Amino acid sequence: MKIVDARVIVTCPGRNFVTLKIVTDDGFTGVGDATLNGRELAVASYLSDHVVPLLIGRDAARIEDTWQYLYKGAYWRRGPVTMSAIAAVDTALWDIKGKQAGMPVYQMLGGRSREGVTVYGHANGATVDDVLAEVERYVGMSYRAVRVQCGVPGLATTYGVSTDKLFYEPADGTLPSQTQWSTERYLAHVPGVFARVREEFGPHLRLLHDVHHRLTPIEAARLGKSLEPYALTWMEDPVPAELQEGFRLIRQHTVTPIAVGEVFNSVWDCQQLIAEQLIDYIRTTVVHAGGITHLRRIFDLAALHHVRSGSHGATDLSPVCMAAALQLDVSIPNFGLQEYMRHTDDTDRVFPHAYRYADGYLHPGEEPGLGVDIDEKAAAEFPYAPAYLPVNRLEDGTMHSW
């Protein structure tokens, strides 16, 4: 089963996506997501210029060996561009293996551990009343878990608050737009928001909140403590996580659970966080963390240390990534939650898929492989459109993490 073709397809059906499609000599095809928001063409070039030539003629059945070949063979290790490219190859090869075996990939990962994948969506609004209405909307759609983000008085824009409610698309400019941040205003406002949400929706709805890397450990500790009465499922990315030991300080002060990892690319980015039980949920996902092969390794390490999965699933993760993530979600023993922000109708048309939402769960479907494809004709209708993520500054102009 030799690889005879590998195509890199860049398309923008509402937002940019990079997809790798691998073809074998016996007629199988497999797809992998390679989208890196705001840096899409870097991964497209890495794949077409440096990976595709190495794939032609390789045995498509050798998933692990190909992973090691691309990882060790590059000499330069890790990083989002390299790991997204490796992820795309790995995902496409799992898709092919499943099709060849005539079974969904989750069956090859050990079979089902649950009936459905519990998902959460984003309820957000400029005011607390707007937020309550959005939470109501998700509850009306039977979601069991909701991420809550609210505008902060005194700040013109706030992370996670957008006009698009069911989608999450922050890449909003051909050059980066600028947002503003005040830790003081934020910390003063957030606990009151959750007090209102709990008051309105009671104790059973799972609530989450994304800090998006904006605090220091001691500030995050204070936030976590102030949110304890509202029993959040998680406080996400409370601080930038390059310094893994920084989380120890947060842990010493609060029992609000912590979720981290959507920007991580490898097990080595979260090894200490997991092994020292400094976090509760690991948010790595297929496309940015080396594909199904490597993500499973991360989740296995996490399982040993009471850490559950909480894979990233914003709109910039393509339906190919979602289909692959669901195969893992439904099979691993330590699944926690799956983020699920919807795609536009155009995106769904370009990426026909078997997974379905019902009653608060996503279901991967029973198609052989991943159960997702790219319609290359439809993809060609939507040419690449440059789009950057915003940058963020403090009120005095200092650059801050976005």
Residues that bind Mg ion (CB under 5 A): 210, 262
289 vs 379, which CB is nearer to Mg ion? 289
Q: Does 249 bind ligand KDG (CB under 6 A)?
A: no
Contact partner at residue 314 from ligand KDG, Mg ion, none, CB < 5 to 8 Å by partner kind: ligand KDG
* 316 contacts ligand KDG (rule: CB under 6 A): yes
Binding flag, residue 210, ligand KDG (CB under 6 A): yes
> Does position 212 bind ligand KDG by CB under 6 A?
yes
Token pair in block for residue 15: 């937002």
Q: Which CA distances in Å does 268 have to 118, 279, 289?
A: 27, 15, 11
Q: Which one-letter amino acid corresponds to residue 290? A: G
Cβ nearer to ligand KDG, comparing 15 with 58: 15
Asked if residue 181 binds ligand KDG (CB under 6 A), the reply is: no
Least distance to ligand KDG from the beta carbon of 138, Å?
15
Q: In the bound complex, what is the minimum distance in angstroms from residue 166's beta carbon to ligand KDG?
A: 13
Residue from 33, 40, 95, 262 touching ligand KDG (CB under 6 A): that is: 262
Which of Mg ion, ligand KDG, none sits in contact with 188, Cβ below 5 to 8 A by type?
A: none
Burial class (CB in 10 A: 0-12, 13-18, 19+), 75: exposed
Nearer to ligand KDG, 35 or 66 (CB): 35
Nearest-CB residue for Mg ion:
210
Residue numbers 144-173 binding ligand KDG by CB under 6 A? 168, 170
User: Is 339 an interacting residue with respect to ligand KDG (CB under 6 A)?
Assistant: yes
Task: Decide which of ligand KDG, Mg ion, none touches 74; Cβ closer than 5 to 8 Å per partner kind.
Answer: none
- Annotation marks residue 69 as catalytic: no
Compute the least distance from the CB of residue 309 to Mg ion, in Å: 14
Shortest reach from residue 96's CB to Mg ion, in Å: 31
Q: Shortest Cβ distance from residue 150 to ligand KDG (Å)? A: 15
Q: Which of 16, 37, 233, 331 binds ligand KDG (CB under 6 A)?
A: 37
- Choice among 189, 209, 212, 294 that is catalytic: 212
Partner interacting with residue 249 (select from ligand KDG, Mg ion, none; CB below 5-8 Å by kind): none
Stretch that binds ligand KDG, among 2-10, 112-120, 180-188, 308-316 (CB under 6 A): 308-316
Q: Could you write out the three-class secondary structure of the chain?
A: CEEEEEEEEEECCCCCEEEEEEEECCCCEEEEECCCCCCHHHHHHHHHHHHHHHHCCCECCCHHHHHHHHHHHCCCCCCHHHHHHHHHHHHHHHHHHHHHHCCEHHHHCCCCCCCCEEEEEEEEECCHHHHHHHHHHHHHCCCCEEEEEECCCCCCCCCCCCCCCCCCCCCCECCCCEEEECHHHHHHHHHHHHHHHHHHHCCCCEEEEECCCCCCHHHHHHHHHHHHHHCCCEEECCCCCCCCCHHHHHHHHCCCCEEECCCCCCHHHCHHHHHCCCCCEECCCCCCCCHHHHHHHHHHHHHHCCCEECCCCCCCCCHHHHHHHHHHHHHCCCECCEECCCCCHHHHHHCCECCEEECCEEECCCCCECCECCCHHHHHCCCCCCCECCEEEECCCCEECC
Q: Minimum distance between the CB of residue 366 and ligand KDG, rounded to whole angstroms?
A: 28
* 115: its two tokens: 């009936």
Phi-psi region of 311 (alpha: psi -120 to 50; beta: other; left: phi over 0): beta
Q: Which of 159, 168, 186, 340 is an active site residue?
A: 159
Total residues at interface with ligand KDG (CB under 6 A): 11
Q: Is 16:343 a contact under the CB 8 Å cutoff?
A: no
Active site residue 212: yes
Residue 350 Cβ, how far from ligand KDG at the closest point, in Å? 19
- Residue 97 binding ligand KDG, by CB under 6 A: no
Q: Which residues bind ligand KDG (CB under 6 A)?
A: 37, 168, 170, 210, 212, 262, 312, 314, 316, 339, 389
Q: Which residues are catalytic?
A: 159, 212
